[in-house]
Amino acid sequence: MGKNVVWHPTSISKEDRQRLNHHKSAVLWFTGLSGSGKSTIANKVEECLFNLGKRSYILDGDNIRHGINSDLGFSDRDRVENIRRIGEISRLFVDSGQIVLTAFISPFRDDREMVRELFSEGEFIEIYVKCPIEVCEIRDPKGLYKKARAGEICNFTGIDSVYEVPLNPEIIINTNELSMVEAVDRIVDYLKEKKII
């Protein structure tokens, strides 16, 4: 950052926006293997929040790579930068008073912790969408595991690139055991319990 770049303060605060919205803001950080159900659950949670009159927005891994992160590949270095950018974007959404839901594999613990440090206590909610890789491969909604096993895709998480399981996530959703309704209820109940909504 250049020495002539100075943070410009604004007259409306995050707390002001939260009062206007009648709820607190936070990031729901969905992490897990491809095919575990991150995007599907995030969408259903947002539907629920919308129906409750809460302001929210989804940042989905594939969608983000169509735009702001279209210049990034899947090397470890690019994955780190992908998550760094998403963390900063998420911080802007939280500052705007909204609940942002992110659905990214985000395979590295250090990256997720780096993002956590951008937020105040209680604003970063790590949701580990847990599912055995064997089940993810059976689901394989995008056909990516099949391509990775055939050598058509390199650096695929769970096959030839590591996924570091969260050590202390706020929420664990085991999609091999819970129904979609149970998964959504668990997350929404957490938000109510923490008085975010």
Q: What is the DSSP string of 94-113?
A: HHTT-EEEEE-----HHHHH
Number of H helices, E strands in the chain: 8, 5
Tokens 């609940």 belong to 99
DSSP summary character for residue 11: S
Q: What is the DSSP string of 19-71?
A: HHHTS--EEEEEE--TTSSHHHHHHHHHHHHHHTT--EEEEEHHHHTTTTTTT
Type of residue at 166? P
Q: Is 106 annotated as catalytic?
A: yes
CB 97 within 8 A of CB 69: no
Residue of 90, 106, 120, 161 marked catalytic: 106
CA distance 160 to 43: 28
Q: Tell me the catalytic residues.
A: 106
